[in-house]
A = this chain, B = another copy of it.
Amino acid sequence: MDAANQPNEDPDQPEFSGTLTLGGLEQVLGFHLRLANVAVFQDFQATMSGLALTPKQFAVLELIDNNAGASQIDFAQCLRMDKATMMALVNKLEGRGAIERRPSQVDRRRQELFVTEEGQRLLVEAKALRQGHEARFTDRFSEAELEQFKAFLRRIYQDGRTLPRPPA
């Protein structure tokens, strides 16, 4: 159907001790995407284990810092997650004193989110750790390659073209 499906080059070795044949999987973009994501995620967790901060928590913390006063739903939409999921995440960040909720004066349904001073310290520490983490991957690329790589990734998720059902 697609490219070469080459048979095992060494038929006397049925033990598969080392590498497996990827076959058609080799052509599947999402397959490579997921493996890359796993590799980065695992390194991130190992790097941040001292701070107990997941990539998503870090992202939300940084987003709140860059958009002080926005609401949970704003952040949830930006990161493509459910509002209930965001709720749990915000609870955790608030529970450790990194952020705080303040009821909006304009729309009393909304809770505006802000990074606390404690959160600022956490952010500084986390950003420092992230530099090492990032470098471990980015130093495999030239500056130009890196820009193109990010542009490719953006092209995948940018428009909501593939996102299923805007909630009815």
User: In this assembly, does A127 line the interface, its C-beta being within 8 Å of a C-beta of chain B?
Assistant: yes
Complex partner residue of A42 from B136, B145, B162, CB under 8 angstroms: B162
User: In this assembly, does A154 line the interface, its C-beta being within 8 Å of a C-beta of chain B?
Assistant: yes
User: In this assembly, does A67 line the interface, its C-beta being within 8 Å of a C-beta of chain B?
Assistant: yes
Q: Which residue of B lies closest to A32 (CB)?
A: B153
- We find that the number of chain A residues with CB closer than 8 angstroms to chain B is 72
Q: List 20 A-B contacts (CB under 8 A).
A: A5-B66, A16-B74, A19-B78, A20-B66, A20-B67, A20-B70, A20-B75, A21-B67, A22-B66, A23-B66, A25-B66, A30-B133, A30-B137, A34-B37, A34-B40, A40-B162, A42-B163, A46-B164, A136-B162, A148-B152
Which residues on B sit within 8 Å (CB–CB) of A63?
Answer: 20, 22-23, 25
Which residues on B sit within 8 Å (CB–CB) of A15?
Answer: 106
Cβ < 8 Å to B, chain A residues 56-88 = 56, 59, 62-63, 65-67, 69-71, 74-75, 78-80
